[in-house]
Structure 1
């Protein structure tokens, strides 16, 4: 397949280029071939190509094998990959230049309102989705002109070798260094999640978490002062927490769910809890003015089919929103995912509107929180 380079870098602190280390988690080709052959004459059939963003590396290798290539087999439409880590600036640049070279792009939820208001996207054609996709994908994940592509989450993980009688399950436990002794880890660069963990440890629930007022921030930073001496390393790269747990340099840490799941499925001694976890969606959009809009609509509809969504989840470690994929996933994987209803009841979703609201000084609430975090880290 042809590649269009979309630049390099990192996205929300997590490089997606090295997510997969083992092919053991992937679906078999015969299953995919059997599924997709039955769809070849459906309404998704077409011709030509579609230019779709993808994160590159092993992420793209998995998506190519279990989404893009089956899509071509089923529909006759070729996927041209726009590979990179920072799509948002490029999408904005294409829009302002009046020349849009891509059809599908990904973006974090926080960037959606501004770009939506600027008219950068076309409405999603949900009439192309089968009923199983619509039934399994909650309404909040199906926006008028965007759809959740995946969820990336930050969870509490621990080394069970350090806690033979049972490890920490909540952020209250994370702060309890007497009951659960050992070196800790937290993400260095972005403080918002750590602040929310500190509030949970201070007695706040997800119902009274938002908004993050100055009074709540003061409480959070006071609580963070308690745990700061026990943080043996502030991790910055996505692969660090799992490796430090394996090496016994951490007893307990925050970690990206995809990293934890990949390590567990490769035999690592790691357990994790969804209590108080942070979950952030990545949105997929069809770009206004793109060269192959109709084909882009068909690719999004195909990606959200339950069987294909299951392949995507196994290929990337990050589940799409269609919960009907759970019945097509291995029994050892389904209980670990954010879309499992048991887990979904435990995590906390950002108040995206509040975070992007501007304060009197012109800064967004999110920028203000990050400034306070960086000042606290530097103190």
Structure 2
């Protein structure tokens, strides 16, 4: 990878000339935090290692489950141990409003015109397009599920189900299981009656739910037979399937959105972090990432380079978007805190 990067001589030129951020060697020991597992291994190959080689700097990795409380404590106390974090859209927007992240100057970062809509945000740059969908083991389940209604039907398909231990995703899926049309999900969820309806539907399934918190758990549980079906990040299943596991995805009813790179306010390596984001937005780096794990690229030039075999696993492929639901980030920014509190209280009973 190093030889390929230096051979073309492209990345160093972009990083130093376009950003104008000074000597690439001035900053070191930047800490980048992601969600671990196969996704972060892919980021290491496509982004972290090549960037460190080009930038002649050091990248230290860590991982978390998306807990915002830890970041808030860092910012509030001024003891910022992390620099760049991978973060979900609603958490990015809330944190940006609260001053938890550095604001980005896209005239200096560049590539904004190449990115898909909503990728270039005030405090974040989209790292990938993800999808949460139903997954199952094709060897262990004779009758494949086709919808969230099937996911909820424990008589038709007996056994445990895996769901992420958050309100986000699950309230949408519950309404889809209850017959709400994709285009109406957030209209219904925006009403108190709609929220009650979603929780009532979750109640029906609660005795059969096994909660996951880390993205690596769903494929592991499917392969071990702990659950018969589970919600999951599509890239985790694609990665397992490409390595020989007989896991399948149900794309209709999937929920898709973006994760972002954000720089924590008070980072000691802001310039290096901005160079990293510029690097990660380049088409070649993103194509390399998708080859490692098939999440959707955020650079349109990268998306145009994907072959059909790879595109079948990518959330933004036209055939996979049919019947899919786009996450309403604004809804979760406005209502996420109260709904997560209600969900946690409900889940603990």
2:209 corresponds to 1:209: no
**Residue 173 (structure 2) pairs with residue 197 (structure 1):** yes
CA RMSD of aligned residues (A): 3.5
Which of 89, 104, 117 in structure 2 is aligned with 1:124?
Answer: 104
Offset of residue 318 of structure 1: 4.2
Q: Report if aligned partners of 2:174, 2:198 keep a CA contact under 8 Å in 1.
A: yes
- Per the TM alignment, residue 185 of structure 1 is displaced from its structure 2 partner at its CA by 0.9
Residues 355, 365 of structure 1: 8 Å contact kept: no
The answer to whether the Cα contact below 8 Å between 2:134 and 2:250 also exists between their aligned partners in 1 is: yes
Q: For residues 240 and 122 of structure 1, do their structure 2 counterparts lie closer, same or farther at Cα, with a shift above 3 Å needed?
A: closer
TM-score, normalization by structure 2: 0.79
Whether the aligned pair in 2 keeps the contact of 1:159 and 1:250 (CA below 8 Å) is no
Is 2:162 the counterpart of 1:183? Answer: no
- 2:169 is paired with a residue whose SS is helix
CA contact (8 A) 2:160 2:228 kept: yes
Tell me by how many angstroms 1:304 deviates.
Answer: 0.9
Equivalent residue for 2:125? 147
Contact 1:152/1:258 (<8 A) preserved: yes
Structure-1 separation of matches of 2:333 and 2:221: 34
Aligned-partner Cα distance in 1 for 2:206–2:262: 40
The 1:124/1:176 distance shift into structure 2, 3 A limit, reads same
Offset at 1:356? 4.1
d(CA) in 1 for partners of 2:162 and 2:269? 43
Matched residue count: 338
Out of 228, 240, 260, which is 2:237 matched to?
A: 260
Deviation of the 1:312 alpha carbon:
2.8
- CA deviation vs aligned residue, 1:182-201 (integer Å, no higher than 9, x gap): 42413163344333222112
Inter-partner Cα distance in structure 1 for 2:84 and 2:301: 24
Unaligned runs of 5+ in 1: 1-27
- Please, which moves more after superposition, 309-318 or 297-306? 309-318
Structure 2 CA distance, aligned partners of 1:342 and 1:243?
Answer: 27
CA contact (8 A) 1:183 1:251 kept: yes
> Matches of 1:121 and 1:247 in 2, distance apart?
40
Residue 307 of structure 2 corresponds to residue 367 of structure 1: no
CA distance 1:326–1:289, change in 2 (3 Å):
same
Whole-Å Cα distance in 2 between the matches of residues 183 and 101 of structure 1?
43
* Distance (whole Å) between structure 2 residues aligned to residue 82 and residue 243 of structure 1: 23
Q: 1:42 to 1:275 in 2, by over 3 A?
A: same
- Asked if 1:310 corresponds to 2:287, the answer is yes
| CA distance in 2: counterparts of 1:313 and 1:222, whole angstroms | 38
1:282 to 252, 259, 271: 259
Q: Say whether the 8 Å CA contact 1:72–1:79 is kept in structure 2.
A: yes
What are the superposed Cα offsets for residues 302-359 of structure 1, whole Å, 9 maximum, x if unpaired?
A: 101111012233445544422432344464332212232433454334434333436x
1:219 maps to 197
Distance 1:242 1:335 in 2: 18
User: What residue number does 2:57 align with?
Assistant: 78
SS in 2 for 1:277: strand
Alpha carbons of structure 1 residues 215 and 89: separation in structure 2 relative to 1, 3 Å? closer
Distance in 2 (alpha carbons) for counterparts of 1:54 and 1:350: 23
Q: Which whole-Å deviations, capped at 9, do the CAs of 1:65-120 have from their partners, x for residues lacking one?
A: 4323322443x441332524267445433433346565433333333334322334
Gaps of 5+ in 2: 18-22
Point out the more displaced range, 219-228 or 254-263. Answer: 219-228
Aligned residue number for residue 135 of structure 2 = 157
